[in-house]
Amino acid sequence: MEHAARDIALVESWGYTRNEAIELVIRRALAHERDVAEDRSPVSLAGHRAYVDELRIICLVGTA
Protein backbone atom coordinates (compact mmCIF):
# COMPACT_ATOMS: atom_id res chain seq x y z
CA MET A 1 0.00 0.00 0.00
CA GLU A 2 1.91 2.99 -1.26
CA HIS A 3 -0.42 5.13 -3.35
CA ALA A 4 -4.19 5.08 -3.09
CA ALA A 5 -4.71 6.38 -6.63
CA ARG A 6 -2.60 3.57 -8.06
CA ASP A 7 -4.41 0.96 -5.96
CA ILE A 8 -7.80 2.28 -7.12
CA ALA A 9 -6.68 2.19 -10.76
CA LEU A 10 -5.47 -1.38 -10.31
CA VAL A 11 -8.79 -2.52 -8.85
CA GLU A 12 -10.63 -0.74 -11.68
CA SER A 13 -8.48 -2.66 -14.18
CA TRP A 14 -9.96 -5.86 -12.73
CA GLY A 15 -13.37 -4.74 -13.99
CA TYR A 16 -14.74 -2.98 -10.92
CA THR A 17 -16.46 0.39 -11.21
CA ARG A 18 -14.68 3.40 -9.77
CA ASN A 19 -16.96 3.48 -6.73
CA GLU A 20 -16.50 -0.26 -6.11
CA ALA A 21 -12.74 0.14 -6.46
CA ILE A 22 -12.68 3.00 -3.96
CA GLU A 23 -14.78 0.97 -1.52
CA LEU A 24 -12.45 -2.02 -1.77
CA VAL A 25 -9.37 0.14 -1.28
CA ILE A 26 -10.97 1.80 1.76
CA ARG A 27 -11.77 -1.60 3.27
CA ARG A 28 -8.21 -2.75 2.65
CA ALA A 29 -6.83 0.44 4.24
CA LEU A 30 -8.98 -0.10 7.32
CA ALA A 31 -7.75 -3.68 7.67
CA HIS A 32 -4.17 -2.51 7.21
CA GLU A 33 -4.67 0.15 9.90
CA ARG A 34 -5.14 -2.56 12.51
CA ASP A 35 -1.78 -4.08 11.56
CA VAL A 36 -0.08 -0.67 11.66
CA ALA A 37 -1.60 0.07 15.07
CA GLU A 38 -0.21 -3.18 16.45
CA ASP A 39 3.21 -2.51 14.89
CA ARG A 40 3.43 1.01 16.39
CA SER A 41 6.39 1.87 14.22
CA PRO A 42 6.60 5.63 13.57
CA VAL A 43 7.58 4.94 9.96
CA SER A 44 4.62 2.61 9.43
CA LEU A 45 2.24 5.08 11.07
CA ALA A 46 3.49 7.97 8.94
CA GLY A 47 3.25 5.94 5.75
CA HIS A 48 -0.25 4.77 6.53
CA ARG A 49 -1.32 8.28 7.46
CA ALA A 50 -0.07 9.59 4.11
CA TYR A 51 -1.94 6.81 2.28
CA VAL A 52 -5.18 7.56 4.16
CA ASP A 53 -4.77 11.29 3.51
CA GLU A 54 -4.41 10.60 -0.23
CA LEU A 55 -7.47 8.34 -0.13
CA ARG A 56 -9.43 11.03 1.71
CA ILE A 57 -8.58 13.63 -0.94
CA ILE A 58 -9.61 11.22 -3.71
CA CYS A 59 -12.95 10.64 -2.02
CA LEU A 60 -13.55 14.35 -1.45
CA VAL A 61 -12.54 15.47 -4.93
CA GLY A 62 -13.82 12.43 -6.80
CA THR A 63 -10.79 12.10 -9.07
CA ALA A 64 -7.49 10.29 -8.89
Mean pLDDT calculated for residue range 10-21: 96
pLDDT digits (tens, 9 = 90+) for 19-52: 999 999 999 999 998 888 888 888 888 999 999 9
pLDDT at 43: 86
Q: Is residue 63 over pLDDT 70?
A: no
Tell me how far apart the alpha carbons of residues 44 and 64 are, in angstroms, rounded to a whole number: 23
**pLDDT band with cut points at 50, 70 and 90 for residue 1:** low
Tell me how far apart the alpha carbons of residues 5 and 17 are, in angstroms, rounded to a whole number: 14
At residue 61's C-alpha, the angle toward residues 35 and 48, to 5°, is 15
Q: State the DSSP code for 14.
A: T
pLDDT at 60: 92
Task: Report yes or no: 55 and 25 within 8 Å, Cβ to Cβ.
Answer: yes
